[in-house]
Each structure stands twice: as structure tokens, then as C-alpha cells.
Amino acid sequence: MKKIILLQFILTLALVGCNKNDKNSASGDAAFEKLSEEYLKGYLDWRPQSAVALGLHEYDGKLANYSKASIASEVARLKEYEAKFSEIDSASLSTKKYYDWKMLRSNTKNELFSFEDLKIYTKNPMTYAGAIDVNIYIKRNFAPIEQQIKSIIAIENQAPKFYAAAKANLQDSLALPHIQLAIQIARGSAAFLGKDLLLALKDVKNDALMNAFNRANKKAIDAINDYANFLEKEKLGKANTKYAIGKENYQKMLLYGEGITMSAEAILAIGMKELQKEQTAFNAAAKIINPNKNPVDVYNDMQKEHPTVMSLIPDARKNLEAIRQFLIDNKIITIPSEVRVKVEETPPFARETSTASMDTPGPFETKATEAYYYITPVDPKWTPQQQEDWLASFNFYTTDVVSIHEAYPGHYTQFLHLNASDASKVQKIFGSYAYIEGWAHYTEKMMLDAGYGNSGDPVKAAKFRLAQSGDALLRICRLCVSIKTHCYGMNVDEATNFFMKNWYQGDKPSRQEALRGTYDPGYLFYTLGKLQILKLREDYKKQEGNSYSLQKFNDAMLDNGMMPIQMMREVLLKDKKTWNEIL
């Protein structure tokens, strides 16, 4: 579920009291529903590309308007609805509407936080770099290709005006990593339009339509390259290193994004403790495999057990079915559909930025309903060593762990449950970062704890555990680096060294992770969400006693929308005193 909605910090506050008098709430619900629909329409009107990703195709061909006047208008609208939602008497709402109210009230606060505190439209050039994104019109067939091309043309024709607004909005001095990454993204976006998009449309025979497309495509490419040139010529020389959002904003991110009141300092302490714990588990698994070697060397040896160039996709497809059957046989979670995710090669236009990913349709999509688990194949143009390195990253054990995260019971299973549930429109539009990625990360450990990969051979079981532990170390390092970067002044070089020392990888992948931390402080939510879910499971198990089962808990986690885990505690736990205990 790597969609646009994953980059919005979707929110809740720790607000009081859940009304249980559903029979007396009809009038309150009606008034709130009207207000809610008004808010959602304005929200999506200003974010048309997000709406298309959700499956709302009345927004096809539309591009966001980021002019100063439009931004000011959206800020005013958000403040208006923040006030209106605050005036709602929560006691007048049914339970379901109460949680919608909490999510919408929080959403307005978080959006205003992005506009006014983080200043993403004036301080971060990455906001605009990849905005002319037309991938969805070629990777999902929700309309005839001619209609899809018309949508692409409409978007591309708006590119010059869009980037003129971007240049006018950005402040004089910007953070160096953000400028560099924005240039890289913009150049990549222009290259995609000039190469991969053309390749995807090469068989279209409508000459008049393609002539119009080629004109619009050139216009968009020129506008994007002009933006990259602008950043290189006008901004690099004035760059600063002020990319940290600061402690105060970090606490707002935690509160508005996930309803978390714990201090960043306390979370960092937990993260450092988890890092030591996971490194111990990593070393223990390596010792079972080969007690006479350094654990990192054991890990590198394990990676040599990988598929061939030809068997990469078939092996992943075969193992994915085995993982799904394990869930059923061991009653891990309910699979609410017989429809399988399709395992395919990553489309050529997406291979530069993806190794493996899940592409599910939006919750309101009615036509292009296929879901794809993409795996990027070996490029025959690579050197033998590059091919070997790539296949090593898809060793048999890591690939299964990735498949668990992306498909069963990770993101694809999240999607199936969301579609099968009675989640409201609000709950289908907005999703918590910690819930979405925390769940997928939680499932990696949960599955191995339930016995996956353990068929009686302790060495093989240890290899699965080593692969899972290696991925966990990456996510824990993200948590620590996020807080150290944005609250305590850690720079990119120091963050790179932290990843190298504690994740056991080289400079290039470690530096990429460090750079991501400069613009995505929320990547701590992979680990934090996982820890929240484990704590919630522990409390739920105590509450349910003899009626507890892992399947019962996992189903409950996926059948209540994508709300923040703090809010999920309110839904699943009866003891209100435990609602604010996150770890």
C-alpha cells in the first residue's frame, strides 16, 4: 500500500469519552455526516491526484493548484472546519461516527501543521519535484487507453503553470539535502516522461491523439527540467543544513499523527534498547547457523542462497502461495477473499526506485481492481557482480520475509480486510502511518514466532530469523536516526555511520536511509507501530483470557479501518486506563 496517502500524516488526538448511546444519536450523526461530506469534498478537490489513487475518477486529469492564493484558501478552509469539528458535541454521536469525528478533527490539525509549522510548500522543494505523476494512468486500466492519454495530456499541459507557482513559493534558502534530492527526483521524473511513458504508449495508433500527447509531454518535460535547473542555479549556492524540524514540531508530529504523548526522548530510549535486543537476536541466529564465524559474515553467506535470474519471479510466486496456505492452516488470520495478488515484474518505468512493492487499487476503485506484488528483475545490462548483488538481496529467506510484509498477511491482506469490512468512508480515505507500516512490519516477526520457516531444521529456521532480524535492525535504526536527526542535531554523515554500525550495511544504502530521514521523520513509525501493536496484543490477550486467539486479535486489528493504534486501543480494550499505554 505504497500510495500517496502513506506520506500524509493521518491523525488522531487523545480526546475524551466515547458515547455509547447509539440509539439517541441519529440527529447528531446526520449533522456530522453533512459536515463530514462537505469537508471531504473540499479535501479531495484540493488534492485531486490523491483522489484518483483512491479510485475516484471524477478527478482524472486534474492537477493540484499550489499557487499562493490557492494555498491560502486551503489554509482558511482547514481552519474553518477545525472550528466546526471542535464545536461538535461528541456525546451526540454514535460510536462509529465518534471515531470518524476524531479522525477528521485530527486531520485538520495535522494538515495545518504541515502548512504552517513544517511549511512544506515554502521550505521543501521535494513537494513539487515529482508532482507531474501520471504513472497511475498507464499502470492501472480503469479506462480505455485513449481516455487515459487524455488525462495525461490534461495534467502535462498544466506543468508550466504548476512549476511557476513552485518557484514563486519557495523561500530563498533551502536545506541542501532537500535541494539535492528534489533535483534528482525532478530529473528522474523528466526522464520517465521522455522514455518510459513513451514506451508504455508505443502501440497506440491514434495519430491525432498522440500528436497532442507529444506536444503536452514535451511541455511537461521542459517545465520539470526548468525547475531542476532553477534549483541548481538559484538554490544550491544559498543552501543551508536546517532540515531538522525541531523537538517542538516532532512532538506535534507524534501527537497529531498518532495521538502519542510520550516524549521523543523516551521513545529514543526505547529504540536504543530495542536495537541492543535485536542485535542480540541477530547474533544468536547467526551462531546457530555457524558458531565459528562473525555474525555479519554468516549473514553475507546466507545471502548467497538465492534464485537464478530466470527463477526469481516464479520462486516468489510459488512461495507466496505457501505463505498464504500457512495462514489458513495455522489459523493466523482470516483471508476474506480467494482473489490472489498477482506477482509480476516491476514495470520498467518504476524499476529505478523499487525493489519490491505492493500496488493495491484504491478502496473506491470499481474497474481496475487487480492488486500487484511487484518484484524488480535483474537487468541484463548489469555487470555479473551487479546481478549477483541484486539476487543476493532476494535470497530465499529475505524474499519470504518481504512477501510476508507486502502480501500475506501484510499490506495485501490489509487491503482485503479493509474492502470486506464495514469501515466508513473516512476510515477508507485516511490511514495512520504507524498502523499501515507498523502492521506489515509486525507480521514479519509474528509469522516466524508462529512457526513459519521452522520445519524441524534448526539451521534453516535460524536463516529465516536472521533475515527477519536484519530487516528489523533497519527499521529500529530509522527510529533512532529520526529522533537524533530532528531533535538532537545529528547530521547526514553521522546518521550514515549509525546505519553502517548498527544495520551492518555499506555506505551507499546507509546514506540513502540517512537522507530519507532528513525529509521523512515519520519513518520511525515502522518500528514504533510494531511495538504499539505488540503491546496492544499483550493487553488484548490479558483481557480476553481463554477466549483469546492470535486469529481473533489479527482479524480485529484489520477490521476497524486504518485508524491510529492509540485509537485502536480504545476500540479493542475495555479498560480505559490502558488507552494511553503505548509501549
- pLDDT band at 470; cut points 50, 70, 90: very high
Residue linked to cell 491514434: 206
Could you tell me the three cell numbers for 293? 564465524
Give the per-residue pLDDT at 489: 96
- pLDDT digits 0-9 by tens, 486-509: 999 999 999 999 999 999 988 988
Say which residues have a Cβ less than 8 Å from residue 352's Cβ, sequence separation at least 6: 188
Task: Provide DSSP, 436-486.
Answer: HHHHHHHHHHHHHHTTTT-SS-HHHHHHHHHHHHHHHHHHHHHHHHHHHHH
Which residue in 488, 437, 510, 476 sits closest to 250, CA to CA? 488
Scored b (16 or more CB within 10 A) or e, 387-411 reads eeebbeebbbbbbbbbbbbbbbbbb
Say which residues have a Cβ less than 8 Å from residue 311's Cβ, sequence separation at least 6: none
Phi-psi region of 61 (alpha: psi -120 to 50; beta: other; left: phi over 0): left
Can you tell me the mean pLDDT for 78-106? 95
Is the pLDDT confidence value at 343 over 60? Answer: yes
pTM of the predicted protein model: 0.92
Share of the chain above pLDDT 70, in %: 94
Query: How many other C-beta atoms are found inside a 10 Å radius of the C-beta of residue 353?
Result: 13
Give the per-residue pLDDT at 582: 56
- Indicate the DSSP class of residue 125: T
Query: How many other C-beta atoms are found inside a 10 Å radius of the C-beta of residue 15?
Result: 15
CA distance 311 to 164: 48
Residue linked to cell 482470516: 334
CA distance 321 to 491: 43
CA distance 532 to 438: 8
- pLDDT band at 39; cut points 50, 70, 90: very high
Is the pLDDT confidence value at 23 over 90? Answer: no
- pLDDT digits 0-9 by tens, 282-326: 999 999 999 999 999 999 999 999 999 999 999 999 999 999 999
Q: What is the mean pLDDT of the chain?
A: 92
Residue linked to cell 522514455: 195
Give the per-residue pLDDT at 13: 32
Phi-psi region of 17 (alpha: psi -120 to 50; beta: other; left: phi over 0): left
Is the pLDDT confidence value at 405 over 70? Answer: yes
Residue linked to cell 516522461: 193
Give the per-residue pLDDT at 486: 98
97: enclosing H helix or E strand:
helix 95-112
- pLDDT band at 346; cut points 50, 70, 90: confident
- pLDDT band at 17; cut points 50, 70, 90: very low
Q: Is 285 exposed, middle or buried (0-12, 13-18, 19+ CB in 10 A)?
A: buried
- pLDDT band at 386; cut points 50, 70, 90: confident
- pLDDT digits 0-9 by tens, 260-288: 999 999 999 999 999 999 999 999 999 99
- pLDDT band at 5; cut points 50, 70, 90: very low
Could you tell me the three cell numbers for 139? 499502470
- pLDDT band at 354; cut points 50, 70, 90: confident
Handedness of CA 133, 135, 140, 141 (dihedral sign): positive
Could you tell me the three cell numbers for 24? 439517541
Could you tell me the three cell numbers for 203? 502501440
Q: In which order are the strands placed within the sheet that holds 356-359?
A: 342-345, 372-375, 356-359
CA distance 131 to 49: 9
Share of the chain above pLDDT 90, in %: 88
- pLDDT band at 578; cut points 50, 70, 90: low
- pLDDT band at 520; cut points 50, 70, 90: very high
Phi-psi region of 474 (alpha: psi -120 to 50; beta: other; left: phi over 0): alpha
Is the pLDDT confidence value at 7 over 50? Answer: no
For residue 345, the cross-strand partners are: 375
CA distance 220 to 197: 12
| 578-to-418, 538, 573, 575, 582 alpha-carbon distances in Å | 26, 11, 8, 6, 9
Handedness of CA 483, 484, 486, 488 (dihedral sign): positive
| 188-to-103, 129, 180 alpha-carbon distances in Å | 35, 9, 12
Give the per-residue pLDDT at 12: 35
Cα angle value 542/260/425 (rounded, 5°): 85
Describe the chain by its helix, strand, coil percentages, rounded to 5.
70, 5, 30
Give the per-residue pLDDT at 500: 95
Is the pLDDT confidence value at 460 over 70? Answer: yes
Give the per-residue pLDDT at 352: 65
Phi-psi region of 453 (alpha: psi -120 to 50; beta: other; left: phi over 0): left
Query: Which residue type, as a one-letter code, is found at position 557?
Result: M
560 three-state secondary structure? strand
- pLDDT digits 0-9 by tens, 176-185: 999 999 999 9
Is the pLDDT confidence value at 20 over 90? Answer: no
Q: Which segment of 20-29, 251-260, 429-438 scores lowest on mean pLDDT?
A: 20-29
Is residue 144 reached through a cis peptide bond, with omega within 30 degrees of 0 on the bond before it?
A: no
